Amino acid sequence: MVLLRKDLRELFTSRAFWLLLLMAGLLTGQSFISAVSAYAEASGIQGGAAALAQGLSPLDGILTPTLGAYDLAITLLFPFVMIRLIAAEKSSDALKLMLQWPVRMRDHLTSKVLALLIAWLIALVPFGAAIALWLSYGGHVDGGELLNLLAGYTLRYLLTASLSMAAAALMPGAANAAVLVLGFTIGTWALDFLALGRGGLVQRLASFTPASALRGFERGLFRVDVGLVLLILTLFGLTLAAIWLQLGHPLRARLLRTTAAALIAAVTLTLAATQHTSFDLSENRRSSFSPAVASALGRIERPLTITVYLAAEDPRMADLENNVLVKLRRALPLTVRYPLAGRSGLFENDDRYGEIVYTLGGKHVVSRSTTEEIVLETIGGLAGVAMPAAEESAYPGYPLAKMPAGAAIVFYGIWPVLVIGTWIATRFMSPRRRRTSSPSF
């Protein structure tokens, strides 16, 4: 508890933390107001044309856009607060004194992680206010979707925290550590871009990047392999921080321990990536086939290979990936190949462009359709399995033609006053401030 109080005191006396809270509230408010306004328009406010009710999902229309502000904060703002917890102790030589305490390094890092989790909970207050406002308008929120989304963003936050602490431990100075974390983030973006429409190992690796992992949670899909990989990477980052904060240990010993930790992480990451269990927690079951279709596909024992002759930017590719392949990967052993990876469909003269080739047990079928019904019919005919007729979705949809009344006051008025007022109060109540302001006789 002593360590936790120390880390919380350092966190709450940091201007960067209060500035981050201020920005998080403003960003969340802007995202929420824009999302509610767009949702109201799609619901037919002021006599406008309403979208199909089944297509109006609060997960897509409200929760994901509002929490999207936190993705920006986790990427660009939180690392500076996280790095400061380590870098300040290193630059002031306080770390050397702390290493002489009868406390293990694991306890030091656990305290910092707990402090950062408390900071995360405080930063989520604007999101909680947004949900409360949405419910007050009469909006709908599914508990499973909300908890899954929060779990995804929390895992993303913990990964960023561990990488920031590891960077602060490895690099001299907070600025160098921040550049290293930003470089890692840009590298994952590049991997995502490189993996578009490529398949194989590159696409498999890209599915574990923070941005790609969040897309799965935003669909209401919880993948065990993604959760395990994010947790293992988080533990690896904390292990690196623990190794390199031991300033009294020889460089060779720290390098050997780093190598051993990297090998262990590589093995465990490989094992975690082989897990194929996933849970569709979306209320409209968007990542799952109907039980009857899933049962029919489960009777196909041989692996299916799909070769897609489409470019990554082709809208048909996005339709196939998001509406069909994401479901097929959960239903049966599947391999997808992309022969045109890295090529533009605008200039393709290949007669096969647009074809989708299905291969099962030595038999081949060619189709050009990307719709779910045709794809299932093609696979069923190839496997000799009768596919049941398509079922009507039971998802009712949740239209709500309400404007975000009072949201601007909450996020642009009350929240800034609350943050600034609390920051001023903590400054005057801090022990250091009281000591310096007390009269001397």
Let me know whether 424 and 351 are in one domain.
no
Let me know whether 53 and 178 are in one domain.
yes
Let me know whether 265 and 342 are in one domain.
no
Element spanning 419, H or E: helix 415-429
> Is there a domain that residue 303 lies in?
yes
Mean pLDDT of 102-110: 79
Let me know whether 323 and 275 are in one domain.
no
> Is there a domain that residue 265 lies in?
yes
For residue 416 the two structure tokens come to 């800034």
Let me know whether 276 and 358 are in one domain.
no
Mean pLDDT of 281-309: 89
Let me know whether 343 and 266 are in one domain.
no
N- to C-terminal Cα separation, the chain: 35
**pLDDT bracket for residue 437 (50, 70, 90):** very low
Residue 441 above 60 pLDDT?
A: no
Distance of CA 97 to the CA centre of its chain: 37
Mean pLDDT of 169-185: 88
Give residue 200's pLDDT.
67
Distance of CA 418 to the CA centre of its chain: 28
Which residue range(s) make up the domain with 304? 291-383
> Is there a domain that residue 362 lies in?
yes
For residue 430 the two structure tokens come to 């801090």
Q: What is the DSSP string of 340-399?
A: TTT--GGG---TTTT-EEEEETTEEEEE---SHHHHHHHHHHHHT-PPPPPPPP------
Let me know whether 151 and 218 are in one domain.
yes
CATH number at residue 322: 3.40.30.10
> Is there a domain that residue 388 lies in?
no
Task: Give the 3-state secondary structure of residue 426.
Answer: helix
**pLDDT bracket for residue 421 (50, 70, 90):** very high
Let me know whether 193 and 213 are in one domain.
yes
> Is there a domain that residue 440 lies in?
no
The predicted-structure confidence for 398-410, as pLDDT tens digits, reads as follows 989 889 999 999 9
As a whole number of angstroms, the distance between CA 430 and CA 411 comes to 27
Let me know whether 106 and 14 are in one domain.
yes
Q: With helix as H, strand as E and coil as C, how does 278-331 read? A: EEECCCCCCCCCCHHHHHHHHCCCCCEEEEECCCCCCHHHHHHHHHHHHHHHHH
> pTM for this one?
0.87
Tally of structural domains, the chain: 2
> Is there a domain that residue 396 lies in?
no
> Is there a domain that residue 395 lies in?
no
> Is there a domain that residue 199 lies in?
yes
The predicted-structure confidence for 31-59, as pLDDT tens digits, reads as follows 999 999 999 988 887 665 565 767 789 99
- Comparing CA positions, the residue from 157, 146, 272, 275 lying closest to residue 217 is 146
For residue 402 the two structure tokens come to 């309400």
Let me know whether 296 and 275 are in one domain.
no
Let me know whether 119 and 82 are in one domain.
yes
DSSP 199: B
Give residue 344's pLDDT.
56
Let me know whether 243 and 371 are in one domain.
no
